Amino acid sequence: MWQKLPYPIISNLKMNNDNSGILDIYLYETNDKCIGTIALNSSNNGNWSISCPDNKNRIGVFKNKLGASGTIEVKENILIGKGFDSYRNKVEFIVDLN
C-alpha cells in the first residue's frame, strides 16, 4: 500500500542472505522500475529504503524524487514493512518469507 500513489504495485523481494535483500518495484502504467534494499539485525528488526527514477508521466508530486524508507520486522516468517515516502505518504508492505 502506497498512500496516494494511484498505480498498482508489483514487487519482488530477493533475500541475499538472512540479513539483507533487494526489493524491486514495478509500476506498470508508467513503466518504472524502482529498486531498494532491506537490512535485518539479529533480532529480526531493521530498515528498508527504495528509490525510483524521475518520470514526467507519473501524476502530481510523484513525478520527481519518488522514494520511501522505513522500518521492518519479522513475525512468524512474515516480513512487515512500514514507513513514508519523500512526501510523507504512508507506505506499508508484507512479504511471506516461506
pLDDT in tens, 57-67: 898 888 999 99
Binning pLDDT at 50, 70 and 90, where does residue 5 land?
A: confident
Distance CA 84, CA 89 (A): 5
Cell, residue 70: 522505513
Which residues are within 8 A (CB) of 24 and not within 5 positions of it... i.e. 6 or more apart? 11, 12, 13, 14, 33, 34, 35, 36
Which residues are within 8 A (CB) of 22 and not within 5 positions of it... i.e. 6 or more apart? 13, 14, 16, 35, 36, 37, 38
In the chain, the largest separation of any two C-alpha atoms, in whole Å, equals 41
The pLDDT tens digits for 36-79 are 999 999 898 999 999 999 999 898 888 999 999 999 999 998 99
